[in-house]
Structure 1
Amino acid sequence: MKITQILAWTFGCILACISPSAKANIYMDTISNKQKVLSFYKQIVGQRKTELIPEFIVEDYKQHNPIVKQGRAGITEMINYLKTLPPPPENAKSPIVRAIQEGDFVVTHLDIQFMGKRMAVIDLFKLKDGMLTEHWDAIQALPDESGKEITATNGTAKIDEVALSEHSKQVVMNFYDAIIEKSGAANFIASDYVEHNSEILASGLASFLSTPDRNIKLHRFVAESDFVMVQSQFNRLGIVFLFYEIYRIANNQIAEHWSVEQIVPDGVKAEDMF
């Protein structure tokens, strides 16, 4: 499947009703960055209102997905393409499973189902003064998980508002320090933690991340309360992958883990996607 098709289907599946807080008549200068991103999904992607793009996207919007053009022109081109496709059904389930905000960064975790295909997506947006200025993402095709109790995207979605963001982030950063230093990383993982990646489940998270010659390079940590997103890259058999993860922290340990990995396309430098 071409990445362009995946991107189009990803955008095509965002529904018109994402969140009650993302109503069309809300004052854009008073909402949070998370609400602004959800409103972007709702009005620009879901309702395909290209005329509102200047209210959401800066002119020199930086796109780290090499398939999409830079600036407002890239978003406009994608939405104009979506206008040629059938709209999503009104009663379809929203693909946005969870959303995380820290300062100028907003992370969304999506489960896309379209035309018999299913993808997990993690988007990362940067905003300034309430406008979207930059975007990163990773997209992974998923197998049929019908009947499974634990899937790639289900599980806890509600944020524990009592949890401290900096503490949760520090737990994950310390975990990665232990992975890189090869010293006691398994101690950071709860005995009953829930793993949503079936490939990781076979070996365990610490072992999976400690694979020889993985050459992990960490780029960003974004945390809200008990949720932490990690943006990184790694090698496997000489191939470079984007690796986006979401951790849920409870009682000072990793309680739940989701991930999306994507091969860096041929001819593209990995650093350009970060």
Structure 2
Amino acid sequence: MKITQVFTLGICCILICAARDAKSDTCMDTITNKQKVLSFYKQMVGQRKTELIPEFIVENYKQHNPTVKQGRAGITEMINYLKTLPPPPQDAKSPIVRAIQDGDLVATHLDISFLGRRMAVIDLFKLEDGMLTEHWDAIQPLPDESGKTVTATNGTTEIDHNASTENSRSIVDQFYKSVVNKQSDNLFIDTAYVEHAASVIASGVGLAGYLSEPDRSVKIHRLIAEGDFVAAQSQFNRDGKTFVFYEIFRVANDKIAEHWSVEQVVPDGVIAEDMF
């Protein structure tokens, strides 16, 4: 099997030996969707237990990445490929940096290293009755960040569950509306705002400037919020190509205080809407 055939979930999580333990997300001993996803990473990807596929994946599982087969067949192929590779070290650090749950959607933010390359990944899963039914993702190679205090994936990781989820979602939604309408973003960006996205930093124009560059035409598909964190799934155009664009915002005191993103071009010959 070629590496490109497992460019998504398998490659993204290949170094996982154990997803971080679920914390205080249970209610009356019922497993949450976030816990189910973390368990999927641990048992299916990390421990490569193909026999557990029926416990995690519905038969008609929908894969929105064009490089992976649909249904359980795609997951089975990916895990069987992982079995041909050396197992991850016992002390390997989980690449899962953040996990955000909003109803039947779970977004995860990963920092992985593979074949000498470091990449940032955002996965998005949809679940129904505790089973994974759909998957979306984006992956972006990262520049050398040696010695940098702020990197593409570091920063705040713990969700503040005392924060209002709906308020956080509203702040991000209003920010995007201000960008689309070419209005000032000063009402929504904190003075101590920290930018982690390599592409935004390299642009030199700030987040609002990056999003409102000519011909970018950002389109939001989903906002996934939990506490003070909000993940946005969107797309934009640049140089005649469409990009899948995932962002994570941290909101504090009614302002956007921190921002991460992952962007990936839609492959030639693929209908952009099929990736959403």
TM-score by length of 1: 0.94
Contact 1:36 1:130 (C-alpha < 8 Å) held by counterparts: yes
State how 1:39-54 maps to structure 2 within 5 Å. Answer: 39-54=39-54
Equivalent position of 2:256 in the other structure: 254
Give the partner amino acid of 1:4.
Answer: Q
CA apart distance, 1:12: 1.5
Matches of residues 119-130 of structure 1 in structure 2 within 5 Å? Answer: 119-130=119-130
State the superposition RMSD in angstroms: 1.6
2:164 matched residue in structure 1: 164
Question: After superposition, where does 1:183-222 map in structure 2 within 5 Å?
Answer: 183-201=183-201, 202-222=204-224
Partner of 2:30: 30
| Letter aligned with residue 250 of structure 1 | A
In structure 2, distance between residues paired with 1:234 and 1:3: 24
Distance in 1 between residues matched to 2:149 and 2:128, nearest whole Å: 40
- Alignment match, 1:19: 20
**Alignment partner, residue 97 of structure 1:** 97
| In the alignment, structure 1 residue 225 sits paired with structure 2 residue 227 | yes
Shift of residue 16 of structure 1? 2.4
Identity of aligned residues (%): 66
Deviations 1:38-60 (A, max 9, x none): 00000000000000000000000
In structure 2, C-alpha distance between the alignment counterparts of 1:89 and 1:144, rounded to whole Å: 24
Tell me if structure 1 keeps the 8 A contact 2:17–2:92. Answer: no
Q: 2 CA distance for matches of 1:93 and 1:268? A: 34
| Structure-2 separation of matches of 1:135 and 1:17 | 20
Cross-structure match for 2:67: 67
Matched residues in 2 for 1:9 and 1:136: separation? 14
Structure 2 regions of 5+ residues with no counterpart?
none
2 CA distance for matches of 1:253 and 1:4? 40
The secondary structure found in structure 2 opposite 1:21 is coil
Aligned-partner Cα distance in 2 for 1:180–1:93: 39
Letter in 1 for 2:18: C
Structure 2 Cα separation of the partners of residues 213 and 19 of structure 1: 40
- The residue type paired with residue 75 of structure 1 is I
Give the Cα separation in 2 of the matches to 1:141 and 1:185.
29
Give the alignment of 1:110-125 within 5 angstroms.
Answer: 110-125=110-125
SS at match of 1:51: helix
User: 2:205 & 2:19 partners in 1: Cα distance?
Assistant: 36
Number of equivalent positions? 268
The code of the aligned residue for 2:131 comes to: M
Partner of 2:275: 273
Deviation (angstroms), 1:239: 1.1
Give the equivalent residue in structure 2 for 1:143: 143
2: CA distance, partners of 1:137 / 1:20: 22
Measured after TM superposition, the shift of residue 247 of structure 1 is 0.2
Shift of 1:20: 2.9
Q: C-alpha separation between the residues in 1 aligned to 2:193 and 2:222?
A: 23
Aligned CA distance change for structure 1 residues 148 and 82 (closer, same or farther; 3 Å):
same
Would the aligned equivalents of 2:231 and 2:247 in 1 still touch at CA under 8 Å?
yes
Q: Which shifted more, 99-108 or 179-188? A: 179-188
My pick for the range that moved more, 42-51 or 193-202, is 193-202
Instruction: Give 1:195's aligned amino acid.
Output: E
Q: Which amino acid aligns with 1:20?
A: D
Report the Cα distance in structure 2 between the residues aligned to 1:207 and 1:215, rounded to whole angstroms.
Answer: 12
Shift of 1:92: 1.3
Report the CA distance shift for 1:119/1:36 in structure 2 as closer, same or farther (over 3 A). same
* C-alpha contact (below 8 Å) 1:11/1:82 kept by paired residues: no
Partners of 2:140 and 2:262 within 8 A in 1: yes
Distance 1:179 1:64 in 2: 27
Per-residue deviation, 1:115: 2.4
Secondary structure, in 3 states, of the residue corresponding to 1:244? strand
The alpha-carbon deviation at position 261 of structure 1 amounts to 0.2
Moved over 4 A (4+): none
